[in-house]
Structure 1
Amino acid sequence: MSSSTVTAMDSIVPTAESSIKIKPEEKTKPTLSEYNASSTSPSELVAAICRDGGVIVRNFASKSTLAALEQEIRPYLDADEGYDGEFFSKDTRKAQGLAARSPTFCKDILANDLWRGVYETLLTTTTKSWTGDNLHECVSRPQLSSCAVIAIHPGGKAQPLHRDDMVHHVSNPAVTANNYQIGRDTSVGLFLAGTRTTKTNGATRFQPGSHLQATIDPPSEQDSVYAELEAGDAFMMLASCYHGGSANKTTDEERLVYIHFMIKGYLRQEENQYLAVPREQLLQYPEFVQRKIGYEISEPYLGWVNLADPLKFVKGEDTKMSDLY
Structure 2
Amino acid sequence: MAPAATLPTVDARPQKDPRSIPAVPDLDCESYDSEDVLTQDIIEGLKNAGLCVVRQIIKPEVRAKISSELRPYTIDLAPTPGDFWPKETRKLTSMVSKSETYALELVGHPVWQTVGNHFMTSTLKDYWNSEEITTSVSKPQLNNTQGFIIGPGARAQGLHRDDFVHHNRQPYAESHTLGRDTSIAFFLADTPTTRQNGATRFIPGSHLWDYDILPSEEAAVQPELQPGDGVMMLSGTYHGGSRNQTDESRAVWSAVTTRGWLRQEENQYICNDVEKIKKLPIWLQRFCGYEMSKPFMGYVDLDDPIKVLHPGMKGDVDQFY
**TM-score after normalising by structure 1:** 0.87
Distance in 1, Cα, partners of 2:162 & 2:316? 37
> Aligned residue for 2:3?
none
Distance in 2, Cα, partners of 1:270 & 1:290? 17
Output the amino acid matched with 1:102. S
Output the amino acid matched with 1:191. F
> Aligned residue for 2:201?
205
User: Are residues 57 and 167 of structure 1, via their aligned partners in 2, closer, same or farther at CA, if it must alter by over 3 Å?
Assistant: same
SS at match of 2:144: strand
User: 1:113-149: per-residue Cα shift (whole Å, max 9, x none)?
Assistant: 1111111111111113221122222111111101111
Contact 1:307 1:320 survives alignment (8 Å):
no
Distance in 2, Cα, partners of 1:83 & 1:291? 30
User: Are residues 203 and 307 of structure 1, via their aligned partners in 2, closer, same or farther at CA, if it must alter by over 3 Å?
Assistant: same
Aligned match for 1:310, one of 287, 305, 314: 305
> Aligned residue for 1:186?
182
Contact 2:291 2:305 survives alignment (8 Å):
yes
Distance in 1, Cα, partners of 2:186 & 2:314? 35
> Aligned residue for 1:37?
29
Q: How many residues align?
A: 296
Deviation at 1:36, TM superposition (A): 1.6
**Percent of pairs identical after alignment?**
38
Aligned match for 1:160, one of 155, 158, 161: 158
Distance in 2, Cα, partners of 1:170 & 1:229? 29
CA root-mean-square deviation: 1.8
User: 1:72-130: per-residue Cα shift (whole Å, max 9, x none)?
Assistant: 11122111121463222222121111112111111101111111111111111111322
Contact 2:50 2:204 survives alignment (8 Å):
yes
Distance in 2, Cα, partners of 1:321 & 1:142? 16
Contact 1:153 1:255 survives alignment (8 Å):
yes
> Aligned residue for 1:21?
none
SS at match of 1:55: strand
Distance in 2, Cα, partners of 1:33 & 1:132? 47
Aligned match for 2:238, one of 233, 237, 242: 242
Distance in 1, Cα, partners of 2:186 & 2:242? 17
> Aligned residue for 2:112?
115
Distance in 1, Cα, partners of 2:151 & 2:316? 52
Output the amino acid matched with 1:235. V
User: Are residues 209 and 315 of structure 1, via their aligned partners in 2, closer, same or farther at CA, if it must alter by over 3 Å?
Assistant: same
**Structure 1 residue runs of 4+, over 4 Å off?**
318-323
> Aligned residue for 1:263?
258
SS at match of 2:252: strand
> Aligned residue for 2:4?
none
SS at match of 1:162: coil
Deviates more, 1:219-228 or 1:85-94: 85-94
Deviation at 1:277, TM superposition (A): 1.4
User: Are residues 212 and 133 of structure 1, via their aligned partners in 2, closer, same or farther at CA, if it must alter by over 3 Å?
Assistant: same
Contact 1:307 1:322 survives alignment (8 Å):
no
Listed as ranges, the matches of 1:78-89 within 5 Å are: 78-83=75-80, 85-89=82-86
Deviation at 1:319, TM superposition (A): 8.4
